[in-house]
């Protein structure tokens, strides 16, 4: 069975793959603005607290489950306790949704990498993105129109072909090797980009804006919640990813030491991205004669509107563009591969399939579905809605349910702790258990309630999209994931899957 599932050749292959998953769009386009809005330099305190009290402790939980029960998310949870299998399927379905739209962002980045050379957007990056490029009809018109957007159709297909090849090559030759090439390349490209940005006029104003501490922000609970949110997303915990990857590790492996390396690498890349992004924003503010606060954005606005503007205005902008969008592609691709592997691994275990058939069974429908739905005039609204709801309810919900199940119902934490301590660099004790049992569920629960209250009390549907659109792709999708997960957990497994601890 094990030979069939695949394995990492060693600890460094695993660490590279795990860093490949962790370092993604969240580091580049989410962290800088989150830090700026959460108190600048002072944000380091809630950020580190969140990292140490929830991020790393939950990362260890993922590692321990996958490694102790040696299976994909549903199989490992099933072996842990029969009824928790649905949590694993929930994670698989979350990955189906995220994977489908993550591919679109990488596709756009590929388009923009090419566009950077001739600065195709002219002097109106915003108009180009929403108009000629995505043809998005935002707000009330979204979802009504459905037409294909040529250049994106090409790049999204390229992305899926690359994912299929990578995953078909398997755990070591596909997943690990890709990260071992892409991650060092990403670091080199990104460092060049940061150094270039540091020498732009206005860069120092940008850095001052980012690092200047606003201590008063620490009194705002929203800032703490944002810090935990950033950490959960950024470390890719509770998605089933780290669980799946650790199931491919040799039995006697130091899990806790590996986790610290991954956590440290991920946070370092976030700080580096903060420096690069805010240097560039400082330049943009100066070039436009406005304050840095007026140009701060994150996500799609940062990547596809602010950066193209910077590229047009900066000397040597084409190089900045190729480096920036190239970095998004490399960082995003290794994360996408990790997301899809959760699904492939589960399907392989469930149907007893070997690598190539397992990959094709998952990826042909997914690639076709994603290619049919996303490179369209509806793509942006669809991405935006799925992303918001799968994050606020899917990921947070699955993490909440797993910590409660482990801490209070199955009471599995002592077993996991012993497993981690068996070969770990350091001993986990009551402190770790408290983080997983008390701090994590508390923060996750509050986060979920707050976002639900905010959405339910707003007088317009999310992003002012048509109500039916939000009901189907937002609430409907989030609820359907749980229902389908429960149904899937009732179906039988191939003989032998129930063994508690297969060798
Ligand atoms: N951790 C990744 C990031 O920071 C995001 C991610 C989310 C990766 C989900 C895989 C799965 O960008
Ligand atoms: Na990350």
pLDDT number for residue 2: 45
> Which 3-state string (H, E, C) describes 325-368?
HHHHHHHHHHHHHHHHHHHHHHHHHHHCCCHHHHHHHHHHHHHH
Q: Residue 71, SS3?
A: coil
Which residues on neighbouring strands pair with residue 148, listed in sequence order? Answer: 376
pLDDT number for residue 402: 96
* Residue partners of 257: CB distance under 8 A and separation at least 6: 424, 425, 426
* Residue partners of 195: CB distance under 8 A and separation at least 6: none
Token match 């072909």: residue?
161
Asked if 385 contacts 394 with a C-beta cutoff of 8 angstroms, the reply is no
Which residues on neighbouring strands pair with residue 376, listed in sequence order? Answer: 148
CA distance 287 to 304: 18
Model-level pTM?
A: 0.95
Confidence of residue 145 (pLDDT cuts 50, 70, 90): low
Token match 């991954």: residue?
262
Confidence of residue 502 (pLDDT cuts 50, 70, 90): low
* Confidence check: pLDDT of 62 > 60: yes
Pocket test for ligand 1, best of 234, 242, 391, 399 (most atoms within 8 A of CB): 234
Q: pLDDT, tens digit, for every residue of 193-209?
A: 999 999 999 999 999 99
CA distance 358 to 486: 22
Q: In residues, how long is the chain?
A: 503
Output DSSP code: residue 376.
Answer: B
List the structure tokens of 477: 């999708």
Q: Which numbered ligand comes closest to the C-alpha of 241?
A: 1
CA of 469 to the centre of ligand 1 (A): 25
The backbone torsions φ and ψ at residue 377, rounded to the nearest 5 degrees and listed phi first, read: -65, -10
List the structure tokens of 306: 């602010």
CA distance 15 to 174: 14
Q: Which numbered ligand comes closest to the C-alpha of 24?
A: 1
List the structure tokens of 295: 């140009």
Q: pLDDT, tens digit, for every residue of 359-410?
A: 999 999 999 999 998 888 888 989 999 998 988 888 889 999 999 999 999 9
Residues with CB under 5 A from ligand 2 (ion): 22, 26-27, 234, 266
**Is the minimum distance from the CB of 91 to ligand 1 under 6 angstroms?**
no
List the residue whose alpha carbon is closest to atom 8 of ligand 1.
335
Asked whether the CA dihedral 337, 340, 345, 347 is positive or negative, the reply is negative
CA distance 304 to 271: 21
């Amino acid at each position: 069975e094990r030979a069939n599932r695949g394995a990492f050749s060693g600890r460094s292959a695993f660490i590279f793959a795990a860093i490949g998953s962790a370092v993604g769009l969240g580091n580049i386009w989410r962290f800088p603005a989150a830090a700026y809005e959460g108190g600048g330099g002072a944000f380091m305190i809630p950020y580190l607290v969140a990292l140490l009290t929830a991020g790393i402790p939950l990362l260890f939980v993922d590692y321990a489950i996958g490694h102790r029960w040696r299976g994909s998310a549903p199989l490992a949870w099933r072996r842990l306790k029969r009824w928790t299998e649905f949590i694993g399927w929930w994670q698989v379905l979350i990955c189906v949704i995220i994977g489908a739209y993550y591919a679109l962002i990488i596709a756009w980045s590929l388009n923009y990498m090419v566009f950077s050379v001739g600065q195709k957007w002219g002097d109106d990056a915003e108009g180009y993105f929403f108009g000629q490029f995505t043809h998005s009809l935002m707000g009330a018109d979204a979802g009504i129109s459905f037409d294909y957007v040529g250049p994106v159709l090409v790049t999204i297909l390229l992305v899926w072909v690359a994912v299929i090849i990578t995953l078909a090559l398997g755990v070591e030759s596909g997943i690990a090797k890709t990260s071992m090439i892409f991650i060092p390349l990403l670091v080199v490209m990104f460092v060049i980009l940061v150094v270039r940005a540091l020498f732009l006029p206005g860069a120092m104003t940008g850095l001052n804006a980012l690092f200047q501490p606003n201590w008063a922000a620490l009194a705002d609970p929203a800032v703490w919640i944002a810090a935990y949110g950033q950490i959960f997303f950024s470390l890719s915990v509770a998605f089933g990813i780290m669980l799946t990857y650790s199931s491919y590790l040799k039995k006697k492996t130091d899990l806790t030491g590996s986790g610290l390396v991954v956590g440290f690498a991920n946070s370092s890349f976030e700080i580096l991205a903060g420096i690069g992004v805010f240097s560039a924003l400082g330049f943009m503010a100066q070039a436009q004669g406005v304050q840095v606060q007026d140009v701060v954005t994150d996500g799609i606005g940062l990547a596809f509107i602010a950066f193209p503007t910077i590229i047009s205005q900066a000397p040597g902008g084409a190089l900045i563009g190729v480096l920036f969008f190239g970095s998004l592609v490399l960082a995003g691709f290794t994360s996408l591969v990790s997301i899809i592997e959760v699904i492939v691994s589960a399907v392989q275990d469930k149907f007893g399939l070997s690598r190539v058939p397992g990959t094709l069974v998952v990826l042909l429908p997914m690639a076709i579905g994603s290619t049919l739905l996303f490179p369209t005039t509806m793509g942006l609204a669809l991405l935006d809605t799925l992303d918001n709801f799968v994050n606020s309810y899917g990921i947070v919900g699955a993490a909440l349910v797993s910590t409660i199940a482990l801490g209070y119902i199955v009471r599995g934490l002592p077993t996991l702790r012993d497993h981690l301590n068996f070969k770990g660099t350091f001993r986990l004790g009551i402190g770790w258990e408290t983080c997983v049992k008390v701090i994590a569920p508390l923060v996750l629960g509050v986060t979920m309630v707050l976002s639900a209250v905010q959405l339910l009390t707003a007088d317009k549907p999310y992003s002012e999209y048509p109500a039916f659109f939000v009901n189907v792709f937002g609430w409907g999708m989030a609820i359907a994931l749980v229902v389908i997960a429960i149904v899937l957990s009732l179906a039988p497994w191939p003989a032998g899957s129930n063994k508690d601890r297969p060798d």
